[in-house]
Chain A
């Protein structure tokens, strides 16, 4: 596969009103391997939140692309990340999802590492008849570069990447809109939920900012909401979509460099939002416009592996590609610290209702991804036509809503909910294409220099 082959997967001709993606992008193992190498393992990937490391020596384990890593708070209170693979023979040294440990000992040959990843003991080193060459080696667990934006932690296996603030760009504003809902920031409601689906990771990336599927994929959910509104029973969970009418509410989207995108919408029943219980105090602190944006629904995609969905409650979902046709989702319910018990209970019930793989919405999305993967088994149909809604309406740069937020996106679009914009995916696929192709070219140059 050549860089040109990758570039040919995106039929990107805005002047002709055409944007298509080739369906092999979700199916070919060779493309998946290139995605891992040139996207996930060559740039910033989301790791987790700093609140997952509440004190010295606490840690959590996660992945950067295919590589297990550990994120840890050291004895001197620094957040570090290292490869979760012993320098001796490569065994995973940290086996739990999270915890607290001054040391991580490899269970195979007993090498010991501290909470900064430094090798502090090589079992039987004195008796080991090692050569000087061995002693000169760096035995520490391989360090991973960490970027920390207001407690949102990112890691990069490659050292030579721009600062995290630069990589995030204006998508930072959407992280702020979550973080600033409490003066003390965010916390995770205890209880992560993990599930998998038999489909490509990009199907989740797309769905996360896809307004078009809601009224067809989630008809059973909409039906439940209609019944709830009629019954008016306090026993049933309130929902922000209670007064849903796809022609009367406004929805918009922004795209940003580096593959990031955000979808926003007016909240049909904003009084059902937990934050509405505390709205005046929030507005006083962050200002009226920002507070109103906090009430909007927001679906934020920080490429390539994390999405934040704030409609019913607030979900953080970390996407881990396992294989070209298999993906793991690690999902968390986030909440502003210090919110009232009433708001917290409402938040948790709304979250379970909508987001869980045992809830009323997510299982239908996940099933649809698998249906896509099943349908895409060969090139009987080469191009997907699912990227062209909104092309006649999208504008370069900022619209009035972006200006209200003080951001400069690459593109802006808004319209009624029924617009179902799909231009929100364009920058993501352009970045995806360019990142892989440029990575392949750089690797080829490097090899030529080295005379391989």
Chain B
């Protein structure tokens, strides 16, 4: 178990991440990630286990750099993807935050995310819920940043579409 200060700073980073997504503060959200950060959403296999090797099995989303995440942001922000035109309104709730010390000053943070999604065009709402695991590490400026984020989507029977900001 990590000390109180670590728990506080890790939790705050997760809440900040949620806030940036919900306010569409895309650049601020991206800045929370390290250059070579991994953003991973596995799929579920028929045997009830999630995929565990993104190089040999399918993922819903697998990005291994901030540049790849930026592509996703650019697409939503471009106004040219009809799936996000206009972008959904979301409310990300992060709870059950558990912080563990990991190797080399890093923190492993487990949490539950519930994301309410409102599709403005369709006047329709959905909820996605997932188990999250963040690996946080101090960046060059000493601030804690996301080295990896694995989001295990529990309700993966997907109505229409999902994207990085709707789960």
Q: Whole-angstrom distance between the alpha carbons of A284 and B74 in the complex?
A: 43
Given A97-B46, A191-B42, A196-B159: A235 and B67 within 8 A (CB)?
A: yes
Q: Whole-angstrom distance between the alpha carbons of A184 and B61 in the complex?
A: 29
Query: Given the complex, which residues of B lie within 8 Å of A367, measured CB to CB?
Result: 82-83, 160-161
Report yes or no: A193 in contact with B43, Cβ–Cβ below 8 A.
yes
Query: Given the complex, which residues of B lie within 8 Å of A196, measured CB to CB?
Result: 157-160
Query: Given the complex, which residues of B lie within 8 Å of A228, measured CB to CB?
Result: 71
Chain B CB within 8 A of A219 CB: yes
Report yes or no: B157 in contact with A195, Cβ–Cβ below 8 A.
yes
Query: Given the complex, which residues of A lie within 8 Å of B61, measured CB to CB?
Result: 352, 356, 358
Query: Given the complex, which residues of B lie within 8 Å of A364, measured CB to CB?
Result: 81-83
B152 CB, min distance to chain A CBs, angstroms: 13
* Interface set, chain A 159-197, CB cutoff 8 A to B: 189-197
Given A219-B80, A364-B82: A193 and B45 within 8 A (CB)?
A: no
Query: Given the complex, which residues of A lie within 8 Å of B57, measured CB to CB?
Result: 189-191, 348
Residue of B nearest to A371 (CB): B82
Q: How many residue pairs, one in A and one in B, have C-beta atoms under 8 Å apart?
A: 134
Report yes or no: B55 in contact with A352, Cβ–Cβ below 8 A.
no
B74 CB, min distance to chain A CBs, angstroms: 7
Query: Given the complex, which residues of A lie within 8 Å of B56, measured CB to CB?
Result: 189-190, 341, 344, 348
Cβ contacts B130-167/A at 8 Å (1 or 0 each): 00000000000000000000000000111111110000
Chain B CB within 8 A of A345 CB: yes
* Most chain B CB neighbours (cut-off 10 Å) among A194, A197, A364, A371: A364
Query: Given the complex, which residues of B lie within 8 Å of A192, measured CB to CB?
Result: 43, 45-46, 58
Report yes or no: B75 in contact with A360, Cβ–Cβ below 8 A.
yes
Query: Given the complex, which residues of B lie within 8 Å of A207, measured CB to CB?
Result: none
Q: Whole-angstrom distance between the alpha carbons of A235 and B65 in the complex?
A: 7
A330 CB, min distance to chain B CBs, angstroms: 10
Chain A CB within 8 A of B118 CB: no
Selected from B59, B65, B74, B157, the residue in CB contact (under 8 A) with A224 is: B74
B126 CB, min distance to chain A CBs, angstroms: 11
Q: Whole-angstrom distance between the alpha carbons of A69 and B104 in the complex?
A: 53
Chain B CB within 8 A of A366 CB: yes
Chain A CB within 8 A of B68 CB: yes
Q: Whole-angstrom distance between the alpha carbons of A349 and B60 in the complex?
A: 10
Chain B CB within 8 A of A217 CB: yes
Given A190-B51, A235-B68: A220 and B158 within 8 A (CB)?
A: no
A112 CB, min distance to chain B CBs, angstroms: 23
Report yes or no: B55 in contact with A358, Cβ–Cβ below 8 A.
no
Cβ contacts B57-101/A at 8 Å (1 or 0 each): 111111011011001001100101111100000000000000000
Report yes or no: A236 in contact with B71, Cβ–Cβ below 8 A.
yes
Chain A CB within 8 A of B44 CB: yes
Chain B CB within 8 A of A98 CB: yes
Query: Given the complex, which residues of B lie within 8 Å of A60, measured CB to CB?
Result: 46
6 further A-B contacts with Cβ under 8 Å, apart from A224-B75, A348-B59, A363-B81, are A193-B60, A221-B81, A231-B67, A236-B68, A344-B55, A364-B81
Residues of B at under 8 Å CB distance from A? Answer: 41-47, 51, 54-62, 64-65, 67-68, 71, 74-75, 78, 80-84, 122, 156-163
Q: List 14 A-B contacts (CB under 8 A).
A: A98-B47, A191-B43, A193-B60, A195-B157, A196-B157, A220-B78, A231-B67, A233-B67, A235-B68, A333-B58, A352-B59, A352-B60, A357-B158, A371-B82
Rank and list the top 5 A-B pairs by shortest CB-CB distance, nearest first.
Answer: A191-B58, A363-B161, A363-B83, A191-B43, A220-B81
